[in-house]
Structure 1
Amino acid sequence: MSVITDAIVKKLRDDEFLSGKKDSTGNYLPNTGLLSLMNEAYWDAATSTEKQRIVPAIYSWQDYTPMIRNDQSKVHLAFIQCAGHVADVPSLRFGSKTRRARDITRDILCFYQQDKKPETVDYDYSYVEKMAERVYELFDRKPLQIPIPDEPGHYTTWETVKCRANGPIVLPYEQQDRFDSRLDVMQVTLTFTIQAK
């Protein structure tokens, strides 16, 4: 993933309220954060099969809703998608002849699957609202630590100039058919400026 996506995912994963607590070995404990509802579930694909571990349900790619539609066994499901920029343009305010700067807009989507069980609350947005509000709190007016690239294809080191987030909104009506009807979806839009160091 890009260093910018990596920075966003890391900020989400490092938040205990969203991602849960870790044990002494650094593994996430189930049912300790908003994104750790399932005991069985989210394998870190970056590790080998012998060292797989459960990680928070934060995805940096887009279309995984078919697996939700096809799997009737999942009772609870909460996850976040933070894939790709909506806009990425040169920053006229912070860029110059000798310094590159970019204004980036990115949507973070928060999902909660209602389980339709009598002992849990459905048909309201309270759970997904908690997730989205936390995402807003994590990013609005807070620094974003963009890591130094370690791949030869990357040659620019970026730093954040400013980061703003809008308050969470319900997914616009024209986009709702993209996802399974059992999912509650809220969106937080980040707008941030980065400049080359």
Structure 2
Amino acid sequence: MLIRFMWNIRSMLGTPSAPSVVSGSITNQSLTIEWKPIVLTNITHRIQWKYANVSSTWSYTTPDATEPNGPNRVHLHNLYAYSSYQFRIEWLIVPWLRISIYSKPSEPITTLQYGVPNGRICRCNLDGDAMESVVVGFRSRPIDMKVDPYNGYLFWLIGVNSVGSESATTTTAIITLIAMFSVVAMVVYVA
């Protein structure tokens, strides 16, 4: 019976349209999204978000992070600078039974760049297990809502090689740049 009810509702309403960004609304901490309005007025909606470039689950926006600009437009703030998000709309059909219809995710939307992160990773260990390799193990700091999440790290390894006698020594610095993306906390990476 309930499945038939849901099927009828879905066939009558369809699904919500994927939200899109309002032109000119993106800043380093906020943006405005909109979607096609629904014909019925007694259907409530919620907005879900997730990071576009990292594996994450859908979360709901908090009331202090949203500012309604109409029935189908919302201004979102308290976002991370230079971070890519995806949004989707949830129509609450029968809230007490948790029956909802979800839109397709939006295209990734990236906030503008601003400043630098105010934290850094916590280096746990830096060991050389051979002459040619370095083992870097680290923990990522807890996510701070004021700063963008880390999506990658750059490591500069500087090696100094001294050759010669005490009277004439030649010192050569070897700088290696290692870029790591889609890293996972509490994992040891060998460079």
Question: Do Structure 1 and Structure 2 share a fold, with TM-score over 0.5?
Answer: no
Larger fraction in strand: 2
Higher RCO, Cα 8 Å, sep 6+: 1
TM-score by length of 2: 0.24
Structure with greater helix percent: 1
